[in-house]
Every structure is written in structure tokens, then in C-alpha cells.
Structure 1
């Protein structure tokens, strides 16, 4: 057997979202295809290549094969490749095309840049009939074509539209069957005392016994951390979940992403007694609940991190401490979250609520300053000042919406005028058909001048597919008066507007002095343009 060519990463081309290697032969073929593509006329159809895999391993070569196959197909169709949307390690069943990182950006923001969407096989593109139907509707709206390398799919024909629906239905049936098998396995695993699959709860890890069987065992480091948290919760002055998180993160037992709410869920998980549990989604609060066996008793999977007495005494301590905390608002405790940031540490300002002596106290604090910085009381007054400042600066800006304009009609008119001008110019040449009499020559010259004026009046941009901003007749002041603080916060977040808050201690006064500074991007007008979501109903 011949020795395989040395493989190297294609650094001189657009890289995949997950590193993929190309052989020397692959790279040579890619260069040949690009040379042929360079010879295409300027008005050649533009092709976008969509590449997807659910699982990518070190041995995977499918992305390379998919791209090369699609480039060859684009050459056969006379198309110029304008981009490669590679979404690897992405499930087509769970993530529709418009929500994928790369393909979604092309569909939502770069539609004018391509005419055809090429993919290797339908199941590499979608696996749900509803997703396929949505994509067909989108393509018809924007006059795009869907083309598959290995399926008879072409939206320019009626047969192609019927075929794509049939194939999509088969793909959805296969996906549904896979989902049913997986769901059945999970339901079976819930009832077993053996550990079959799933992610162990914090406090446990998987291992193999002497027979090679996967079992659940206690993680010594997590065991130590959980027992320390229990003792801290049972003190006369119990430690808060936030304090526990800081200690665990500082000790390197948990990652920086650990939050107080996650820590509380861990401490309240009945799996810490060695029982099998499932997520309880009732009430909008993520909790785990015990699974009972046929005998009505909890199913034991392994030894417990806590005994039942230790676990339930911990729950009583957490409940007692939790009574001092106000109930969470459905809309969140902090308005303008992500907009208001601390000028000192750069983290988000959040509202902390505490009950003391039957009275509710609210303070704006940050994430990294010591003790959250100087607590700023009366968040509502700060919100009101922020609204006032935003209205003063951006309130009179017109609300512009993005609309898609196609250049097909303008291109057709431009082509007609160019052909007519060429016809009259040829007729006005010596011995031409319009030079035989003075009358015909003058009429032809006048007509030619009119045609040239019409051609010059065509906006060069109008012959291209493009996005245009159109005023909808409202100002942002009226938009925010109708939608309230929620609408304003949403617009400020998507446009990148920030409000830096500086808190300065005032001698003899408990509340700090608050200074607010709006930070507005230079291209805020472009960012303020509202973009219609073509796939909103499909979510």
C-alpha cells in the first residue's frame, strides 16, 4: 500500500469552526477549482456552501469531502462560491439552519450575497419537515435556490419542490425514531439500580468495578466540599450560598462559572443520599426530585454523600435562611441588566434585595468590587435617570426597519436599455440603417439620447439584491413610551449602549453619590435599525 500524503491544516483558506485537516491532494484540487472559478463571468450565480456534522472526531474527513464535492457541483452549475458556512458538532434535529452560528449569520444578515444554497445531503441540512418547510418559504421569499449534491432537490422546478418535501418527511421520521429510542432508554435507565447513562450529580463520578461494569462512586474532593457547605449552613451565623461559592472557587474545587443558584440546587439535590432523581420542572424553579420504584420507595443507586438525617437537616437550615430572601420577580430583579455597568470593575450592576425587620431593602451592587462596592439604594431612581438621559440623546432618532430589496427588475431594465442603446449606436454608424435620411438620423439620435438618460438615471445600487433602511413613521421616544423600560432595555442591549455608574462615598451620608455616564457606539444609528426576524414563528 502506498504511503499516504502528509496532511496539514489549510491555513491559506477559510478555516472550519473546528480544526479540520486537508491532504496535499485535497489542497491541490481546491486550487484547481478556484482557478476555474476565476474564469467565470461577473454575473455568474453565487453559491453558498453549507457543511454540517453532528459529531466531529480527529479521524473525521467528511467536512473536507463535503466542501470539495460541493465546489465541484458549483463548477458544474457555473456558480461562483462566495462562502462556506461550516457548522460542525451541531445536531440538525436540535438546531435549525437559521440558528446555527455560521449558516444562521448568512441567512439572517447576508442574504443579498448569494443566490444558491448548496449542501451535500438533505440530512446534513435539516432533519425536521417543519424546518425544511420554513427554509423553502424563506428561499421563495428571497428568490434563492436550494440544491443538494446527493438528492434531487431544485426549487426552480415543481418536481424539485415535491421531492424536497418527500425526502424531508423521511428524514424527520428517521429523526423521530432515533428520538423515541433515546427517550425509551432514558425511561428504562430511570427505573434501574445500576448506573446506565447520564451525567452524575455533583458529588459523584463514574468508575469501573472489578467486572468492568460502570458504577457510580463518591468523588472525594466533592464529598469534602459538600460536607463543609453543610457545616457552614448549620452555623449559628450561617454562610450564604454566595459565600460558599467564593470559598469553593478560591479553593479550586469548582470553576469560576459556579453561581449561588447552582450551588443551592446542588445542596438540595436528593441524589446526595445515593438515590436516583429526575428534574422537576413544575413551578418554574429547577429542582431534582426522587424517583420511586415499584415498591413505592426511592431507588438507591450508590452510597450517599449524606445520610438522610444529614441531608434533611441541611434542607431545614437552607429553608430557614431562605425565608429572609424576597421572592424572585418573573421579570428579574434588575432592570437594564447588561446596560448598567460598574465604572470601576466593569461588571454588571445588579439589584440585591433583603428583608430586615419586615422591611424590604434594595441596593445596586456590582460583581467584582469588594462587597459589591458602595451599595446604591433606590434603584428605581437610577432607572428613571437612565431613561431620562437615553430619551434626551436617542429619543428623537427615527425608527428605521430593514427591508430586503431585490435587483432583478432593475437588472432587467438595465439590460434592455443597454441592448437598445447598442442597437441605435450601430444604426447611426456610417452606412447604418438610420443614416440614409436626415429625418431618420435625427429621430435616432434623439431616441439614443433619451435611452442614455434613462440608463444614467438607474441607481447602480438598485441592480443588486440589498438591505435598505426604511422609516416606519415613529421615533424611538414613542416606541419606548409604548413598550416601557423593557423595550428600551432590549434596544440598548442590542445596540451596545452602556451606562457606566460611579459610586462615591459622601462623608456623613450612608448612601453614595451616583454619577452616570452613557457610552454610545459611534455607529449607533446603524445598530438601531430594526431587523425583521424571518424565522420568529419557527422557534
Structure 2
């Protein structure tokens, strides 16, 4: 130990409630040591971190961190009440010790009598740091056990009130989550519309027109506060529906929390949707829906129709003639780049009419069929989650992150549970894939089509895999080729009776628009 050292006092507390380790007592102990006749040190500053976990790296703490990075030249000795105030992670402790050695600094634990500038002090410090890490694991295990006990009683273990739920006080303390009748019904209405042909944008527009408060404004009104008048957005709709809390799953910082078996922790006995149903919905929304939004004012086929020559998507545009007349048309997106030798363009009303006629005439009387893949998709979603948990567990194990007895015990328990789950789900999927793939909905295509606006028709076309290609005939007329390959698969797998004259091997409707008809720009 150097004489008359410049002392940096370190104070840390995880929770401001323990009087035995209060910041005042830690500071007093450091001051008493520094002023001792054998030290005669001078305290140059305090690195104080209150409500900071011992698991946080010392270099990253708001109070202590800058003394390593920005003020390293201002002190000689880092003095702590006990070594666990510096860190509860042996790895972090070793990094700090290595840094201090490299920069000519020393670490002292004033109540444990450990001076790491001496060989004996270094040895004791390493031992105590290892015990501190073990204690941290024990603390985490106790916290998880407490959370599981509250969860088993149906008590809410989270913080912010999630969408569609409200608190119900329990007689023995704590708060239980139950459905909020009004917004649980709203959530179900949103889900049904998304399952149909409503886009998230269209739903947001509808809610704003009806003056429905957003969830946060609804809570403000319930508390008697003034609402902020925040508008619904498509992103907000998607965020609400895809949040695991809808399926009754507890999350922390957006990630599902798992129990000892690696299973998602439930937040309520009354979820807005069953977890499996929610998981399937999210899979369907993210995998099978268009990424471009369909608004009530947008065209029916913009971004859906493609140029037959270059396969680029076609966008809707308008052009105003000298006489003031406005024409709307679809044009190949490569029309302005010169990368398509013969970019397709066609009147919007002509192409919309052609697709409408294809649905009414070619598909009209046939029953709308839906894939019987809910159970398969749900099982595949659960399988992907279970395999992801296994991958993460095994990655942590191979990386040496599973060290203590508590961690090893939890690792093998979770690994065994998730492995069994993977085997079960793989068997379920194999059995489900051998089942019939289609079922009737009780509606015909023309019945579905006639009830929709342009935005819903756009989603309908995409959902049923209807392709629309626009090109030219040999004599220069514009041609629209419309197909629905899905029908071929349905007919083959279900034996669906097809009226004579229909091209069911590859159902297609071809419309030719004569060049003599008025056309913008052509």
C-alpha cells in the first residue's frame, strides 16, 4: 500500500431498504479506514450506485464506471465496505482486479481486512468473490421461487397493466389479472377482423372514426384523468395483437419469461386468447399476410399485379388530361428506370373489372375452402420455440455459462423437459400432416367478394394466391392473365366437383383490352 493514498470510496446497494448495508454505513466505514493512522489517506470522491444489482458489471455502473474510463488518474485505491459491494460476479471481479493491476491501482475491503496489494489479500479476494457469485445465484433462485409461488396462486407478478386486463385484489394480498370486459371484447373484434380481410391500417382508421380511446387513454379515463387523445395506428394494432400477454404469457422487456422447465410463465387463468390460438394467429399474420398496407383509399391491385415481361410489381398512378379528366392506371414499377424493355400499363378500372369477373364467373359458385392446418401450424410454432430453448440451453452449457450447482440442476431439468416436448410435437405434426388439408367454410367465392371494399378485396386476392400478370398480345393489345393455382390443389385433394368447361388443371382467365380504347399514355 502506498503512503497517503488518494482513496475512491465505492458504495453500492441493490435495494434501498436494508439498514445494515445502508450507503451511510458503507461510507462511514470507508472514511474510518482511510483516516486511520496506518493509512492517512485522502478521499477524493465517491462512486455511489443505489438500486444497482451486484450482477451489473462495475465498468457499466453509472456511479463507478466513469472512475475507470474518465477519471482514472484521480485515485490510487478503490475502497469498498465489502467485496460483494464491488461485484457479485467472479468474472467481473477478475476483470476489475486485472484493470487495477495494469493501471497501478489497489482494491481494499475495509471491513474484511483485505488489501489486494498483498499476495494474501489477492488470494482471499478471489475466494470471497466466488462465494459472492454463488450467493447471487441463490438470490435469483429465491426470487424465481417466489414468483412461481405467486404465479401458482394466480397473482400478477408483472408491472404495467397489459392490454385488455384489469387488476383484481386478492384477500391474502397481491393482484390478480382478469379480463377487462370492454377491451377484451375489442381485442376479439380486432382479431376477427384480422382473420378476415381487414388490414391493421383499416382497423386503426375505423377505431379513430368511432372515437374509441387507445388502451392508455382508456386507463386514464378509468382513473378520472384527462385522456391525451392519442390516435390508433397500424403499428399499435400489430403490437397489441402480437404481444404474448394476449395469450396469457408473462414477459420481461418484451421477452417471454420461462419457468424451471423452460415453459412460458402464465400471467392469468383467463387469457384473452388461448396461447396456442394466439401463437397460430401471430404465425399467420407474420408469414401469410402482405407487408404493404391496404388502406380504404388505395387501389385494389397496386403492388399485387405484376408486369408479365419483367415480373416487377405494378403501382397505381393517376394522370390529368388537358381537359381536366383524371385517369387512374397501373404501371410497371420499372417504367421510369428503363430496366424493362416493354413495361406494362393498364387502366385501373379495366384490370379491377377483369379480376372481379374472374372471381364472379370462374370461381363464383364454388365453395371457399380453408386449409385445415391450424393444429399443424400451432404445433410447429410450439416446436420452434422448444427447439430454440434447447439451442439456447446447450449454447450456454458449451460456453461455460452453467457453473453453479443451482444452474446445473435447472439446466438438466429444463433440457429433459424440452427434449420430451420436441419429441411429442414432432409426432403430433407427423400425424396431423397425414390428415385432410382442406375444409369448406359454407360460403361461396362470389358471396365473399361482393361484401368487400377495395382494401379487403386486395387482401382476399393475396390470401387465396390469385396472381395477376399484365402484358401485351402479339397485335399490341393489353392482356391480363389471372390465375388461382390453389384451386387445382383443392380439386385434386378433396375431389371437388368442377363444372364442365372450367380449366381446373390450371384455372386461368385471360382478358384482352383492345388498344383502340382510350388509355392514358398509350
TM-score of Structure 1 vs Structure 2, range by shorter chain: 0.3 to 0.5
TM-score (norm 2): 0.43
TM-score (norm 1): 0.42
